[in-house]
Amino acid sequence: MKKETRKEEIINTSAKLFKEKGYSAVTMRDIAKAMGIKAASLYNHIDSKQDILIAIIIALAEDFTKGMELIKKAKTGSLEKLEQIVVLHVNITSNNTDGMASLNNDWMHLEGQLEYYLKLRVEYEDHFRDIIKEGIKKNEIRDGNPEIMMFSILSTLRSLYLWIPKKEDVGAAELALGLSKVLINGINK
């Protein structure tokens, strides 16, 4: 296993603090204290708290975008693509619950990268919506409002960072399978 660099340690510690307190309430001093170093030492590895937020959010947004692009291009049906989206969210969230809190709660604090982040988010949602529309057109998904369907699924997937840490007894594969069944197939008998 690769040893975490000091910069990665700063980013991971910051993500945890941002999740606990919110981005606005955390100072560079708080980050340094949590790491057991002087605040001035942080600046040897990172320029600002804003740079930390950008590193957290943009990396995750790009991971989601790349994953979605692969899913959209896959030669599978729409339902399989939706299942792959669930797996994508479970995997990314399982590996970074703290960062996901920033992605969901602190993105509006991005400076200089907000426009880029919003572009990634819009592309992701456009691809998601297109998969649902394609499924409706091919009669794989019941006819309905694609916006409502996307919102319903994404609302659950975006909140996984709150739930996953409390459910250590449920593995990522089991969670993805269970969520797919409920989110895509519903709870009808």
pLDDT, tens only, 82-136: 999 999 999 999 999 999 999 999 999 999 999 999 999 999 999 999 999 999 9
Average pLDDT over residues 157-181: 88
Contact 82, 135 (CB under 8 A): yes
For residue 35, what pLDDT band results from cuts at 50, 70 and 90?
very high
The pLDDT assigned to 167 comes to 73
Residue type, 29: R
What pLDDT does 186 receive? 80
Q: What is the pLDDT of residues 135-151, one digit of tens each?
A: 999 999 999 999 999 99
Confidence of residue 185 (pLDDT cuts 50, 70, 90): confident
d(C-alpha 6, C-alpha 52), whole Å: 13
- pLDDT for 86 equals 97
Average pLDDT, rounded, for the chain: 94
Judged by phi (left if over 0) then psi (alpha if -120 to 50, else beta), residue 41 lies in: alpha
Range 71-79 average pLDDT = 96
